[in-house]
């Protein structure tokens, strides 16, 4: 009987109630043809919202372009009122506190150089997987 009682108490503990999850989504970006230009992708968000109280923890991303990106090309992912600079066209990182676990998220592509970008860069796809914790 005591074994069942301990099992029941453990199930009610906050640690036992913590859960992890993730969602994945993709969109396309568009074309960047001029320097000093910022291009926003279409938003990405989960098909089913994470549980109430979900906290964004990690982000994995993969961006596919139609060719090489020019010098001065930067990418950041944004959500809510926050943006985080990404280290390249693919990777994984921990997200800062306050990043929305349920999205929507979007990418911003920035060219820091002046003048025309030749050839232009087309963002074919943005893929993300957002990992979250629930307490």
pLDDT at 43 over 70: yes
In the predicted structure, residue 53 carries a pLDDT above the cut 50: yes
What average pLDDT does this structure show over 33-53? 92
pLDDT at site 82: 92
Per residue in 79-131, pLDDT (tens digit) is 988 999 999 999 999 999 889 999 999 999 998 988 988 889 999 999 999 99
Q: Where are the domains of the chain?
A: 19-134
**Which residue has 């911003």 as its token pair?**
108
CA-angle at 127, arms to 122 and 128, nearest 5°: 140
Q: pLDDT category, 57, cuts 50, 70, 90?
A: very high
Q: What is the pLDDT of residues 2-20, one digit of tens each?
A: 443 333 333 433 333 445 9
pTM for this structure?
0.80
User: Which of 42-46, 73-77, 118-122 is the least confident region?
Assistant: 118-122
How confident is the model at residue 77, as a pLDDT? 95
Write down the CATH superfamily of domain 19-134. Galactose-binding domain-like (2.60.120.260)
* pLDDT value, residue 113: 87
């Amino acid at each position: 009987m005591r074994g069942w009682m301990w099992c029941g108490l453990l199930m009610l503990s906050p640690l036992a109630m913590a859960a992890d999850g993730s969602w994945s989504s993709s969109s396309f970006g568009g074309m960047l043809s001029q320097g000093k230009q910022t291009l926003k992708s279409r938003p990405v968000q989960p098909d089913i919202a994470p549980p109430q109280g979900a906290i964004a923890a990690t982000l994995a991303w993969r961006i596919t372009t139609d060719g090489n990106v020019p010098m001065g090309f930067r990418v950041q992912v944004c959500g809510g009122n926050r943006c985080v600079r990404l280290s390249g066209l693919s990777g994984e990182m921990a997200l800062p506190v306050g990043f929305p676990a349920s999205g929507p998220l979007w990418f911003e592509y920035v060219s820091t150089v002046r003048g025309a970008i030749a050839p232009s860069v087309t963002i074919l796809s943005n893929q993300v997987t957002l990992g979250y914790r629930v307490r």
